Structure 1
C-alpha cells in the first residue's frame, strides 16, 4: 500500500522538476492548533521528499 506522503512526494518531485531549479522552497500551512495532526503529516511528507531527493 502506498502512503499519502509517498504519493504527495512523487507529485512534488514532478512539480519541482518542471521548473528551472528551485533554490528555496517556502513551506506554509495551517497551525497544529487549527488542524490537529498536520504537524506529523507534514513531517512524514518532508522526510519522504528529502529521502527521494538525496538518493
Structure 2
C-alpha cells in the first residue's frame, strides 16, 4: 500500500465513523476529512465500503 492509499484509507475510515457516530451533514463531514465536495466523498465512500451512505 502506498502512502497515498494509506492516507485515503484513514480519511475514509474517519468519514465512515463520523457518519455512523454523528448526525452531522455530509458537507460538514466532507470538509472535516479534507474534501470540498460532498458528492465526491460519497462516491469514494461507496467504492470504499461498497455501501451507500445514508446522508
Q: TM-score, normalised by structure 2?
A: 0.41
**Greater fraction helix:** 2
* Bigger Rg, structure 1 or 2: 1
Taking structure 1 as the reference length, the TM-score comes to 0.41
More relative contact order, 1 or 2 (CA 8 Å, 6+ apart) = 1
